Structure 1
Amino acid sequence: MSSLGDALAPSFAVLLVSRFIQGFAGSLMTPTARLIMLERTPSNQLLRMANYLVWPALIAPAIAPIIGGFFVKYLTWQWIFLINVPIGLLAILIGIKLVEKDSKKSKDKFDFLGFLEIAISSGFILIGAEIATYGRHFWPVAGLLVLLGLLMILVVGYHLSHVAEPLFDIKALKVSSFRIYQTGGTFLWLSVGALPYLLTVYLQTVFHWSALVAGYYVIFVFIGNIGIKPFTNVIIRSIKYKASLLIALFTVAISTAALAMIRPTTFGVIIAGLAFISGCGRSLALTCYNAVTFSEIPIEERNSANTLSSVLQTMAQGLGVSLITVVVSALSSFFPENQSYEIGFVFLGILMLYPIIEVAIQPKNFGSSAL
């Protein structure tokens, strides 16, 4: 309904309200779907299920540019939202048909204060990041909001660790297989959210290609996501999680940074190939992370751990576009426009160094319980 409201909005204010409702509803869907899977899947089956879990998050940012470009070029912008209506109705029918009714009722009190604290802290960070994209004049205000959000996280941590019935239990962070997804995995999600956007804007702004043509190349990220899927389980079972993650993260880092070298005269197959390789690396890395992250968390504690993971993942995805926009904007003060974008690709590649180091120091049998 919110997507329909977006398409039919008579004013910008109504559009903003509809988008807010759409974001609120969307934020409930991903953790709920993952929780249904986690509560019914033993640790040794998480690898198989992770393949299905990763697809939606990878597919959407990859195919959105080409679909959006098609709608803008041949139809109207309203179709960007109208396309969600039949998809939403289909999802409702599938949910009614396949999802079992939950007869259990929780007796725990809802931690409203914890919810409010998290909403404020994440709101400060995301709003600050968005304001920072408007230009250097807004950076002091944006920096202050982000700083307040980060300080608020300390308040959230103290509250969750001391209240009797917290919104979610943070003790799952003591488990290394869970913790590395919340730290190094967050860096990966920043890149996952930023790369399709950066490549699309780069091809349009610097190469002066149409949105539709740019979308054709970005969709190869999605093709890479899908193309590697039949082999992910074989790769992981053959060389285990640690080696698989290192290969995947190195692949993402190198292929992303290599996009800085493309030019309007570069053969299209090279641009498509780099996007494809990046998609393969992203897909393999996220499959590994999703399979491992809950493998050592008891089933009865996965609800709480899933909430924590979803909050961090959602923030990382939202920050990805804002972060790379600010980076490119800052670089444009010192470099020509094309070089600013090129350094932006290198920056996204460098982001992978932290998760690479984090995985490298893990024991050789890391994630063995999920095989």
Structure 2
Amino acid sequence: MNRTIPLVLAVALFMEQMDSTVIATSLPAIAADIDTNPIALKLALTAYLVSVAIFIPISAWMADRFGAKRVFCTAIGVFVLGSIACATASSLGGFVLARFLQGMGGSMMTPVARLLLVRATPRSNLVSAMAWLTVPALVGPLVGPPVGGFITTFVSWHWIFLINVPIGVAGICAAWLLLPELERGIAGRIDFAGFALSGMAAAGIVFGLSVVSLPALPPVFGFATLALGICSGLLYFRHARRVERPILDLGLFRNPVFRAAISGGSLFRIGAGATPFLLPLMFQLGFGLSPFQSGMLTFAGAFGAIGMKFFASTTLRKGGFRTVLISTAIAGGIFIGVAAAFTAETPAWMIIAVLIVGGFLRSLFFTSANALVFADIGDDKAGQATAIAAVTQQISIALGVALAGGILEGVAMFSGDTLGATAFAIAFVLVGLVTSLAALPFLALPPDAGSTVSGHRSGGVNSRSQVVPAK
């Protein structure tokens, strides 16, 4: 397999994924510098998520209209400009707008990168290639907190964003020189009504869940925008059935393999989104660790995620998508629940071992689920598949954080106590159960589902899952 394409894409995605979390540990320093408070500055986190949610649906049309490579390079450029704007912002409003600009670039990077990978990679090599994109998506959020704490403590918070400039410039040059020029899809006229409705739906849901779970505004704003997002989503479902080329083609859900990959992946991401939120809080508030100590512990999961890359292809070839996804969903949920037994006296090596195994399982699940999304989807629908997968990913991660925050607040309110070991234990157990439910959508799949991609043959027979060959 030619590793040039996934490596170039992975470097850019690592930058975007790390940046989305690196800011969290630096909020107090940034707030003091621009004369605001850390709670208000959480609007910057929300602004990024909202921007990503708004513009993801249009990514498939943009790639078909202007070319995937050109859009990917432009997205990196926009992200870099947003990073510079963040570093030079001197007010809350300016910083929020800069993060929104960053989100516009980030919204195109992930789905267009997947589209480039799918269209340029033979289906038989897709699992190995997809593993390179899964690793930065999992490692980035783990690396972000310790890196952000280190840079803020020993250098300056401005460099959290300025460091993206040389990385971004190098990424643009590498992408332009090394990525292939792929045949464009049929873009047609843009579905403006669908873009507006889908954007309001995704942004409303993500913003509402973010405000409810990370209150920077009164919760009533979160519930109101959440209701607006749900209503917009219902209107979009109605709209999509009436137009010939909707901005997001929901007809893909008629494919049982695609439907299982999206629904199962979304359930699993609820747990994956909750865990990075819960672990640092438990380590810092429950165990009294510093942000840097907490970040170094959570970073252990990165080793498991990286290690998975060497086993993904062999594991899927021997077990098949159905077996691997069911097994990793259940085991991944169990290892999230195991964190409920952590105490301040638990040896660090034991915590690290659990996090490494958990990181391995999550990485294997996501690599498998991300590849399964395209197993029965032809190149002409790959852009739509990437956009739908990216939108559901943002919503499910926001759901995970909201679920974790809601459980902690509910336990604290019911017990009349501050956040303690009991609250975190209950949260990890419930989140682990939700994560394990991701196994359910895959139970209905045949054992050889997606075998054109995995290489798995059940009982030596040919796959019943047919796929349009990659161009």
Q: Which residue of 2 aligns with 1:214?
A: 294
Looking at structure 2, the residues matched to 15 and 7 of structure 1 have their Cα atoms a distance apart, in angstroms, of 8
Q: Secondary structure at the match of 1:245?
A: helix
Distance 1:105 1:275, change over 3 A: closer
Deviates more, 1:340-349 or 1:37-46: 37-46
Instruction: State whether structure 2 residue 443 is matched by structure 1 residue 360.
Output: yes
The equivalent residue for 2:357 is 277
User: 1:252 maps to what in 2?
Assistant: 332
The 3-state SS of whatever aligns with 1:230 is coil
Aligned residue for 1:38, secondary structure, equals helix
| Deviation per residue, 1:237-291 (Å, 9 max, x gap) | 1122222112211221111111011111110011111111110110110111112
Q: Which residue pairs with 1:112 in the alignment?
A: 192
- Tell me, in whole angstroms, the C-alpha distance in 2 between the residues paired with 1:48 and 1:248: 18
Q: How does 1:111-130 map to 2 (within 5 A)?
A: 111-130=191-210
Normalised to the residue count of structure 1, the TM-score between the two structures is 0.94
1:5-84 to structure 2, matched below 5 A, reads 5-84=85-164
Contact 2:127 2:312 in 1 (8 A): no
- Which moves more between the two structures, 316-325 or 48-57? 316-325
User: Quick check: 1:253–1:350 contact (8 Å CA) kept in 2?
Assistant: yes
Assess if the C-alpha contact under 8 Å between 1:136 and 1:330 holds in 2: no
Question: What's the counterpart of residue 320 of structure 1?
Answer: 400
* Secondary structure, aligned partner of 1:266: coil
Count of aligned pairs between the two proteins: 371
Deviations 1:290-338 (A, max 9, x none): 1211111112121222222221122223443333223322222123412
Identity of aligned residues (%): 27
Residues in 1 aligned to 2:146 and 2:346: alpha-carbon distance in whole angstroms: 20
Letter in 1 for 2:341: M
Q: CA deviation at 1:135?
A: 5.8
Is the Cα contact below 8 Å between 1:328 and 1:341 reproduced in 2? yes
SS in 1 for 2:310: helix
The CA distance in 2 between the partners of 1:331 and 1:85, in whole Å, is 43
RMSD of equivalent CA atoms: 2.0
Shift of 1:99: 2.4
Aligned to 1:348: 431
Mapped to 2, the partners of 1:256 and 1:138 lie a distance apart of 31
Residue 384 of structure 2 is matched in structure 1 by: 304
The whole-number CA distance in structure 1 between the counterparts of 2:274 and 2:361 is 15
Mark the runs of 5 or more structure 1 residues left unpaired by the alignment.
none
Distance 1:101 1:235, change over 3 A: closer
Q: Aligned-pair distance for 1:345? A: 1.2
Greater relative contact order: 1 or 2 (C-alpha under 8 angstroms, separation 6 or more)?
Answer: 1
Query: What does residue range 150-189 of structure 1 map to in structure 2 within 5 Å?
Result: 150-189=230-269
Task: Kindly indicate whether the alpha-carbon contact (under 8 Å) linking 2:330 and 2:437 is maintained by their aligned counterparts in 1.
Answer: no
**Mapped partners of 1:298, 1:289: distance in 2:** 17
Q: Work out which of the residue numbers 221, 226, 233 in structure 1 matches 2:313.
A: 233
Among 366, 371, 375, the residue aligned to 1:291:
371
Q: Which amino acid aligns with 1:205?
A: L
CA contact (8 A) 2:270 2:435 kept: no
Structure-2 change in CA distance of 1:7 and 1:136 (3 Å):
closer
The residue that corresponds to 1:264 in the other structure is 344
